[in-house]
Amino acid sequence: MTQDHSAFSYEAMLGEYPDTMVSFGAGSITELYCYVLQNRINSAMLFAGGTSSANRSMGAVQSLFVDNPEFDLRLYAGIPPEPTVEDVRKMRAALEQSKPEIVIAVGGGSVMDAAKAAYLSMQTESDVNELFGVNTASTRFPEKEFKRIICIPTTSGTGSEVTPYSNIVDPESGVKKLIMEKQIIPSHAFVDPVLTHSMPQDLTVTTALDAFVHCIESVLNYRAENAHPDSVEWGLEGIRLIAQALPVVLKEPGNYIARTKLSAAAVLGGMCIRNRPTSLPHLCSFSFYGKVPHGVAVAALLPPFWQYYLESPEVRDITMKMSGIFSKEPEQTAEEIVKNCADFIAACKGPAKLSDLGCDRSIIAKVAGDAVQNPMKLQSCPRPVEPANAAEIITVILEKAW
Ligand SMILES: [Fe+2]
């Protein structure tokens, strides 16, 4: 596998991110307490999930405040995976009741996404349904600066701790809806890889694959505008870290160095997609919601769409930057890199082909039909797809990859 190209250079990269103050490493959550003291904060709402590991993580945060009985720490646990608009409404009600000075989300992407939506909903006095879309709140309130949440991630995947995205399920339509809003980018992320040690293997794989695909899709997205000049390097580093660390963690779940690399890669992936967004693999993954874990779906969809993008000379050039990451022998062609990447995904207990997702082949028609609903994404991807031809093109790509 790949050489340790730039040991620990990710720490410098995490410090470059202009949108979120990232504190990274073992014990970094203690810096939350310093932040609270320095800013004379007296109250907080702590949002968390409902699992035993969520309880442990919440306990770790609570323990920071045991010597400060004056501090008003409210706990709201039990946020489910795939939170719905109704979950967000309940969280908003809790915030309105306690009016905390800061909001802290401890958990995976679901908890962080729901906390972002609830805090924005409270501050805009808007139902969450009115916030879906691109910069809806900041367009409606152009003069207003909203307070942003603080995140303590306990998985290494979504990168939600640094992104402007919040995915919430609307049970009425049965689809996941997206808030994309610069004003929900968390202000601080305290990323302690120790909190990820108890992740079971399937969650480790699905979250790592999600981060992996974030980094690759972002690197490939050379058409993104106004991206941070270092965002390609962030993505390449994230890919290297996962290529090194995921096979190690699968053999030794408690390997601290490898877990640390996965945590760093997840943050880098979030930093990347804030600057150079994801494209067709992520767009098409939403049709698998409720059937296949997100990270597994995007990992199956990446190789076929990457192959499709290779018609673009710019994508070929940028693909060659990954030469030597997935193989000891640096690859000589872009096609070899895509193939070795697909083999890496399969070797890490990910899907080898689309049929491994366990869905009926008829889902291809649904994927193609759903994708057509998002012409903006189709036209902004590395090899643009005309909306009129999109259903046919996507069908051919997925049929070939089945
Ligand atoms: Fe993702």
Instruction: CATH number of the domain at 141, please.
Output: 3.40.50.1970
**Vertex 19: Cα angle to 203 and 241 (nearest 5):** 40
- Which among 160, 191, 222 is the end of a domain? 191
Q: Who's near 359: CB < 8 A, 6+ residues apart?
A: 288, 291, 292
- 276 and 292 in one domain? yes
Residue whose token pair is 């442990």: 56
Among the candidates 139, 160, 191, a domain finishes at: 191
111 belongs to a structural domain: yes
Q: Looking at the structure, tell me whether residues 117 and 225 fall in a common domain.
A: no
Report the separation in Å between the CA atom of 43 and the middle of ligand 1, taken as the mean of its atom positions: 32
Mark whether 120 and 204 lie in a shared domain: no
Tell me whether residue 4 is in a domain: no
CB 225 within 8 A of CB 280: no
The count of structural domains within the chain is: 2
Q: Is residue 22 part of a domain?
A: no
Q: Which of 172, 191, 210 is the last residue of a domain?
A: 191
- So what's the pLDDT on residue 176? 87
The pLDDT score that the predictor gives to residue 1 is 42
What spacing in Å lies between the alpha carbon of 40 and ligand 1's midpoint?
36
Cα 170 to middle of ligand 1, angstroms: 18
Q: Are residues 241 and 263 in the same domain?
A: yes
β-bridge pairing 102-107 and 43-49: parallel
pLDDT tens by residue, 318-337: 999 999 999 999 999 999 99
In a domain, 17, yes or no: no
CA of 159 to the centre of ligand 1 (A): 8
Q: How far is CA 356 from the centre of its chain?
A: 23
39 CA to middle of ligand 1, Å? 34
pTM over 0.75: yes
The CA 212 to ligand 1 mean position distance, Å, reads: 9
10 assigned to some structural domain: no
CA-derived radius of gyration, the chain: 20
7 domain-assigned: no
- One domain, residues 112 and 173: yes
* Ligand 1 centroid distance, CA of 64 (Å): 31
Q: Are residues 129 and 242 in the same domain?
A: no
Both structure tokens of 325: 């990451």
Separation of 278 CA from ligand 1 center, angstroms?
A: 8
CA distance 166 to 97: 23
* Ligand 1 center–CA 11 separation, angstroms: 22
18 CA to centre of ligand 1 in angstroms? 21
pLDDT at 191: 97
207 and 154 belong to one structural domain: no
Tell me the average pLDDT of the chain: 95
Distance 402 CA to ligand 1 centre (A): 21
Query: For every one of its 402 residues, what pLDDT tens digit does the chain have, with 9 covering 90 and above?
Result: 444 444 458 999 999 999 999 999 999 999 999 999 999 999 999 999 988 888 888 899 999 998 888 999 999 999 999 999 999 999 999 999 999 999 999 999 999 999 999 999 999 999 999 999 999 999 999 999 999 999 999 999 999 999 999 999 998 877 889 999 999 999 999 999 999 998 999 999 999 999 999 999 999 999 999 999 999 999 999 999 999 999 999 999 999 999 999 999 999 999 999 999 999 999 999 999 989 999 999 999 999 999 999 999 999 999 999 999 999 999 999 999 999 999 999 999 999 999 999 999 999 999 999 999 999 999 999 999 999 999 999 999 999 999
Question: What type of residue is 6?
Answer: S
User: Letter for the amino acid at 314?
Assistant: E
Note whether 149 and 202 are same-domain residues.
Answer: no
277, 357: one domain:
yes
Tell me the CA–centroid distance for residue 17 and ligand 1, in Å.
19
Q: Report if residue 391 sits inside a domain.
A: yes
Q: Does 295 lie in the same domain as 345? A: yes
Residue 20 belongs to a domain: no
**Domain enclosing residue 95, as ranges:** 29-191
Could you read off the pLDDT of 223-240 as tens digits, one per residue? Answer: 999 999 999 999 999 999
How far, in Å, is the centroid of ligand 1 from the Cα of 232?
A: 17
**Mind giving me the DSSP string for 150-175?**
EEEESSSSS-GGG-SEEEEEETTTTE
- CATH number of domain containing 199: 1.20.1090.10
